[in-house]
Chain A
Amino acid sequence: MKIKDKILIIEDEASISSFIATVLAANNYDTMIAHTGSEAITMITSHCPDLILLDLGLPDMDGSSILKFVREWSTCPIIVVSARNHERDKVEALDAGADDYIVKPFGTSELLARIRTAIRHTRTHLPNGDIAQSGQFKAMGLTIDYDKHQVLVDGENVHLTQNEYKLVSLLGKYAGRVLTYDFIIRQLWGPKAKSDNQILRVNMANIRRKIEKNPAEPKYIFTEIGVGYRMVDPD
């Protein structure tokens, strides 16, 4: 029998944690519930869950401190579940190491999809986090050829500039995850680059015109407004 993935739900509202637990159990996950931050930390260290659903508003501590605590020693996927919908909160959580961010209220199908994606990423990406060094990234018609430093759409080279290629290959390396503007800028132009994301946006607008058929209906690179960009999952 298949070993079930273990998911820790850190959420102080009993009604929410119980409905999430029910849905997850019905979809073949093992679930644990922690109602406070300290309880959560004990459970994380003793049970080593496969994925953590973290509510940022906890009674005894700020959820983001749990995020930082876990990230000091583990790459366990963490999905932040929060009622805070400001871009700043999302950026903060993602920069602190969260894998994804879901805003309440959410549908169960959305939650399940995000969980599947996050678990798949840890399984496929972490052992070779530097696939961007060589090989190819393929998603539908898009191919990133890391050896030749080329990006092809339906087999055609789209002739990206150096910066545009760097940007696309970075997104390809972390495909499926939202990369924040600041993260991208640091990766592309170094830690001292000023965090003005206008250049980044102009680059992205140009890339979109080269690789997408209709820039308003992107198939490959998606924008999380005010937060960052995400490359579609590879095939």
Chain B
Amino acid sequence: MSYHISACRQGEEGSVTQLPFKFRTSYQRILRDWLITAGLLALGTALSWLLMLVDPSGGFVSMIFVLMVTLTARLTNGFIYGVTASFVSVICVNYIFTYPYWEFNFTIAGYPLTFLTMLSVSVIVSTLTTQIKRQEQLRAETERETMRANLLRAVSHDLRTPLTSIMGSASAILENDAVLTPQQRMSLLRNVRSEAQWLIRMVENLLSITRMGDTEARISKELEAAEEVLASVAAKFQQRFPDIRLVLSAPEDPLFVPMDAILVEQVLMNLMENAAYHGHSTCIHLTAERQGEDAVFTVRDNGSGIAPELLPNIFSPTIHSQSHTSDKRRNMGIGLSVCRSIVKAHGGIMSAANAADGGAIFCFTLPLETLNTEDTINEDQG
């Protein structure tokens, strides 16, 4: 059985290629923090030096350095930078700015106090900074958890209806085979199929959520050509809705957008399906364009538009699933809230509006990281 080995190779390669990237970012962050520390200390020194020219007494020097230590502790991650800054500051103040100049002399009264002040300021500020950051993280996590919980509740609630319908229709056919007319049988079977299709859409959305992972950082972005994403999603959509006319437009210059294409496709698909199911549109415009540092995707339909009372909370899942009366509406809230989380996870913004001439407009942005594609073209052709 020699054909067993290479199944997992691809996966390993994937993790290997990701490693240097993570490594680099943490390395970059440490470098950045040290640069901030050094920069602020240099600034403090320069400032004190300049002020000394005006007022040689130098009473303000400690104050300036305390300020710099505070700033260092606030702007960096971890204690080491603030503590280092306080040490350096004390040495600096002692060596350069107090009598005897350019000499160390720690015997003067008040030095231990100055040093202790700076040290405690830096430690306290660092602790507070870390705490604030942790709290922010915690809040983001809670928000994500709430979204998931809401989604799960909404979904599991909504799964019952189509499952009941499928079960019921199938049993009806199995148990009443003799009495059913062919038309009745067909209509029951059609029921089964459309409910199953609805379940598929729901599951796709759930899969998108799991694909996003637990933290936003886990989205794996790759540069994708906007036109390829539009074409791909349009082809899939057209398979299911051959009667709806699609008008696609992509930018003249190739637009490469960092994204998880499967997730972005899901967003576009949800928006287009909503236009078809809820808006009863006959024509959908799908546009991708560049606006400054963002790629903007727009889905515009000619359907019935969005009810004004729904508009303010259109992206939150709970509102719809609890207030829905017609079964047709049930997928919309979940689909849209999934859309919003996907776009948010990419660092983009999503918005919805009604067009002046009728129909709904959904719009979302994906930030472009400046990556010079022009170089690769020249390199390749040269």
Contact = CB atoms under 8 A, between A and B. Distances in A.
Q: Would you call the interface of chain A mostly helix, strand, loop, or mixed?
A: helix
Interface string B213-234: 0000000001111011111101
B262 A217 contact: no
B227 A208 contact: yes
B373 A202 contact: yes
B3 A65 contact: yes
Nearest to A72: B3
B286 to A, nearest CB: 8
Contact of A198 (B11, B223, B262, B288): B223
B84 interface: no
Nearest to A208: B227
B377 interface: yes
Contacts of B227: 205, 208, 215-216
A22 interface: no
A37 to B, nearest CB: 11
Interface stretch (B54-62, B89-97, B110-118, B248-256): B248-256
**Residue from A202, A203, A209 whose CB has the most chain B CB atoms within 10 Å:** A202
Nearest to B211: A86
A87 interface: yes
Looking at chain B's contact residues, is the secondary structure mostly helix, strand, loop, or mixed?
Answer: helix
Contact of A88 (B14, B224, B379): B14
A92 B228 contact: no
Contacts of B230: 216
Interface of A: 62, 64-65, 68-69, 72, 85, 87-88, 91-92, 105, 110, 161, 163, 198-199, 201-206, 208-209, 214-218, 222-226
14 contacts: A88-B11, A105-B200, A198-B373, A198-B376, A199-B380, A201-B223, A202-B373, A206-B377, A214-B248, A216-B230, A216-B248, A224-B232, A225-B261, A226-B222
Given A161-B381, A202-B256, A225-B228, 19 more contacts: A62-B7, A68-B6, A88-B14, A92-B7, A198-B223, A201-B224, A202-B377, A204-B225, A208-B227, A215-B227, A216-B250, A216-B286, A217-B231, A217-B248, A222-B235, A223-B232, A224-B232, A225-B224, A225-B262
